[in-house]
Structure 1
């Protein structure tokens, strides 16, 4: 049996990340703090998406095995993260109300509607879909699929999901057969391709969120044995083909970051909160990193 992409990513990072360290450590020359979230239990780890509420404290985190965590961040006087408290853990369900597991539960992206509806993107070839949940414990309501979803690769489908102020969903695949990534928007009960984001320097989109400024922010990842590089780009509506790079790390600076949420600090500065997928591999870790974008 050939190793999966996830197993390959995990095995190839053996030399990168230390087993121990303080919760707060400097991010090389960028001086951006890394908070390491440590947890236990079969549901912990593999976080692929995060939503941070406007207060900068309450959050929803999604694992790639259909588990939803709700919790709260603790911050010091400088708003640096100093702790994480888990409030609840939920296992997402299929339309019949059965708990999701295995390949059908490969949940990768989240977006929260103004009415509290939780939208989740799942990747996996013909299983690629976006589902809506009234609550994390409700049965799934599967949104109509775009015809292109069924042709997406099992490990390169929908990972990024975002919702704008008008309640419209946006997504794009992690892999594309062309030199750009199609950007899908869901409105009037259907998906349409509204633009294409150019592929640049080997990075692939793995997370997305609309900021309070109305712009779409992409979290992008590049994997080259044996390390990851991370990038955050801004897309202005109507100029989807003109991404602006705001933040980029050298390979090996961070773990495998896949989720992003955009909020403002108490001082009004734009802040990106990103979370890493540790692949549930003991030499990787769950990092929460925050970057000021203005």
Structure 2
């Protein structure tokens, strides 16, 4: 497609994404919910990050490994806002803001993502053991692994609208019911109904072992920076991420060595949608301070992005930190479900910890 034509389409996609993000009433979530897990087939179309220059692989401090545009016939496929990958990067678990989960194998052609196989969709269960059904209770926006792996373990899931963080045991065939809750910090009560907990990262190594890092999408302090919390662990308390150029937080993930990566997004009608990946080293992740972190990647919609809402990280056999991003299509035909992978070279990966 000529660049001019593509920019017109991209503009429409951007406006659609923004409208759907600002007002959930515009999102066409499935009216019905899954009662039991189902298998489905996902078609994957390879994409480049730079459409006009597909040979370009370096973006900021990251190396583009590959991307996929995903399609499935099930109306329950989409809306993914939280993502976990196993330590090898070959199986994934995601949660949707329509109260469902996705489990699949992430297949590769060498180091490039190739597609999803053995795909299963299922309902997130409530305390009564039944699927979450109403929009206010099923809006899951963040997830982190608290124990086990992507096939069987325990996840912490953050919900907005009815703000809460619940502890979910899961297996290959079920997700819940929850068996506990993580208390939301008292000063988080000022969160907007549609801008609640968007990022959770459980730290399981290093000096912060046992800490849960949580950020809302846009809860600002008096200086306009983004408020977050270290929950549990050795040094619990509030923390602050420096807000740069008006970006909001959409997700976070633990790094293999104890730091985190943060995914951010900004929309303005004047210049479209942008995304950013920021790294916060373990030594910088402290309570009571303003954290700046390090920008690894910033992308405008002239590159191949959509409504990027989920992030995960794992370490490759070669020692690189691999960062996986996933988009939330808001169940809109004008948006896409994307998976994209980037690598942080070995030396920089070590410095990240």
Do the two structures share a fold, i.e. TM-score over 0.5?
yes
2:48 aligned to which of 2, 21, 26: 26
Residue of structure 1 in register with 2:320 after alignment? 269
SS at match of 1:104: helix
Partner of 2:102: 69
Cα distance, 1:150–1:195 mapped onto 2, change above 3 Å: closer
Deviation for aligned residue 1:94: 2.0
* CA radius of gyration, larger in: 2
Let me know the Cα RMSD of the aligned residues.
Answer: 2.6
Residue from 10, 22, 30 that aligns with 1:5: 22
1:249: how far off?
0.7
C-alpha contact (below 8 Å) 2:147/2:155 kept by paired residues = no
Preserved CA contact (<8 Å) 2:125 2:132: yes
Q: 1:196 to 1:74 in 2, by over 3 A?
A: same
Q: Which runs of 5+ in 1 are unaligned?
A: 12-20
User: Does the CA-based 8 Å contact 1:93-1:100 persist in structure 2?
Assistant: yes
Q: Which whole-Å CA distance do the structure 2 matches of 1:46 and 1:227 have between them?
A: 20
> Take 1:201 and 1:174, find their aligned partners in 2: how far apart are those partners?
15
1:198 corresponds to: 242
Whether contact under 8 Å (1:69, 1:86) holds in the other structure is no
Partner of 1:278: 329
Aligned to 1:134, the other structure's residue is in SS state strand
Cα contact 1:184–1:191 (8 A) shared by 2: no
Which TM-score applies when normalising by structure 2? 0.73
- Alignment check: 8 A CA contact 2:279 2:296 kept: yes
State the partner residue of 1:291.
342
Normalized per residue, the structure richer in helix is 2
Equivalent residue for 1:103, pick from 121, 136, 143: 136
Q: Give the C-alpha shift of residue 176 in structure 1.
A: 2.1
3-state SS of paired residue (1:175): strand
Is the Cα contact below 8 Å between 2:44 and 2:114 reproduced in 1?
no
Which residue of structure 1 aligns with residue 348 of structure 2?
Answer: none
Partner SS, residue 35 of structure 1: strand
Among 204, 229, 235, the alignment partner of 1:184 is: 229
Q: CA deviation at 1:82?
A: 0.8
Taking a change above 3 Å as real, the CA distance of residues 214 and 172 of structure 1, as seen in their structure-2 partners, is: same
Residues 144-167 of structure 1, C-alpha deviations (whole Å, 9 max, x = no match):
222233321011111111100123
Q: Is residue 228–residue 252 contact of structure 1 (8 Å, CA) maintained in 2?
A: no
Distance 1:216 1:4, change over 3 A: closer
1:156-167 equivalent positions in 2, closer than 5 A: 156-165=195-204, 166-167=209-210
Specify which of 232, 255, 260 is matched with residue 311 of structure 2: 260
| Residue aligned with 1:176, SS | strand
C-alpha distance in 1, partners of 2:73/2:213? 33
Contact 1:145 1:191 in 2 (8 A): no
C-alpha contact 1:43 1:67 (8 A) present in aligned 2: yes
TM-score, normalising length: structure 1: 0.87
Corresponding residue for 2:36? Answer: none
Shift of 1:202: 1.4
